[in-house]
Amino acid sequence: MKGAKKHINRIALLLVLASAVFACVEPFDLKTEDFESVLVVDAMITDELKLHEIKITRTYRLEEDGPSPEKGATVEILDDTGTLFIFAENELGVYVASEIFATTPGKSYQLKITTVNGREYSSGLEVAPQPTQIDDINVERGTNGQGIDGMTILVDSFDPTRNSNYYRYTYEETYKIIPPFSRADSLYSVNSSYPNCEVAFALINPFAERGSRCFGQDDSSRRIVLTSTVGLSEDRVNRFAVRFIPKTAPIIAHRYSILVNQLVISNSAFSFYETLRDFSGSESLFSQTQPGFIEGNMMSEDNPDERVIGFFTVAAIASERLFMDYEDVFTEGDNPQYFFSCGAFAPPISTTLPRPGCPLSMILQEGTLIYGGPNDNPGFDEGPHNMVQRRCGDCREFASEEAPDFWID
């Protein structure tokens, strides 16, 4: 799933930059004085039967763009019965299981890594927990702590055995996109030579030639969502807020779906992610800069004092999906925004000043703008046709026309 992320050191970086602004006027290059190359491990396996994935990288300096993938490592997971699961490098720093497998509740698992230079790292033994099913997912309209109107995704679950206690939530969002200048017609240039400057108008199939309906997808890799039932009379998650979405968010403008994943994790994993959340606000272990260190359950076999960032998590997963239309929750007020600002402008068909030409035909030939509809009341130096950015009338510019297999209209 998706050490601390770059957010960990943005605070430190901002403090350094702020002091620089107020202390001097001479620009300077920010550089890391003392740097330690630390292994960063992002690893989780669950009771979901699939090809599990492990990401391994190294910390990077503040002045560098991002982490360096750990290439050529040997990655294995061993359970307490001696079964070995081998991972192969699928892309730089990303290691994928050579065969599908799922964890078994009650079994213990250990991650072992050997880098290309022969250094060995391992986790402690992590016991696979029992799964706890999600009982219900609801959406409720309301305001958040900042007074923003929107809707909250709420989750209920219950473990009568009281063995779960520690929960982490991730989610995947899918949403329908309809461009504000979605049309079934278009313009094309017949003659771009002055003074004729002819422009033709033609009907086209909107789904074959122009993306009038697309689907966007996001996951929750930017957030850590945790809750615990320790100290409660029951191991019950009741109306827990997994996600808040403002009323004007473009992802809920039409039809929206969320897949909520409930992960039962260990106490130690919960503590690690809680510290990571409070420290960085982000779950990714893959962008760890220095300074900043969060101790996990990975260690060096060669040098006990060597620092290793990351946590090998063994979790039990339960998932539920919710569909909703905007009108199911909101009936009045501000409409959701689009993903981009989409103003239209109407270039003249021909001009004489500052020099003779055919602006509209030239724009059509360039292909950077598309037809946005008629300009019914042309102003001075305007033409009869509105033109817009392609992404404002053709959603294929940033999303896919193909509906996911699970999609229900």
Question: How far is residue 217 CA from its own chain's centroid?
Answer: 8
Mean local confidence (pLDDT), 288-301 = 73
Most confidently predicted of 59-63, 79-83, 191-195: 79-83
Q: Which residues contact 223 (CB under 8 A, 6 or more apart)?
A: 281, 282, 283
In a shared domain, residues 203 and 348: yes
- Residue 336 CB: number of other CB atoms within 10 A? 17
Q: Check whether 13 has a pLDDT greater than 60.
A: no
Contact criterion met (CB below 8 Å) for 151 and 252 = yes
Cα separations in angstroms, 307 against 7, 112, 296, 301, 303: 20, 16, 10, 11, 9
Candidates 151, 181, 135, 141; CA nearest to 318 is 135
Is residue 406 in a domain?
no
Is residue 334 in a domain?
no
In a shared domain, residues 50 and 126: yes
In a shared domain, residues 38 and 117: yes
Sheet (strand 134-143) strand order: 134-143, 149-158, 236-246
DSSP string of 193-246? STTT--EEEEE--HHHHS-SSEEEEEESTT--EEEE-TTSSSSEEEEEEEEEEE
How many domains in the chain? 2
Candidates 401, 400, 396, 371; CA nearest to 386 is 371
Q: Check whether 313 has a pLDDT greater than 60.
A: yes
In a shared domain, residues 16 and 92: yes
Domain limit, last residue, from 298, 314, 330: 314
Q: Which residues contact 120 (CB under 8 A, 6 or more apart)?
A: 112, 113, 114, 300, 301, 302
Percent of the chain with pLDDT over 70: 85
Global pTM reads: 0.83
Contact criterion met (CB below 8 Å) for 163 and 129 = yes
Reported as a single tens digit per residue, the pLDDT across 73-116 is 999 999 999 999 999 999 999 999 999 999 999 999 999 999 99
In a shared domain, residues 207 and 354: yes
Phi/psi at 127 (5° precision): -90, 130
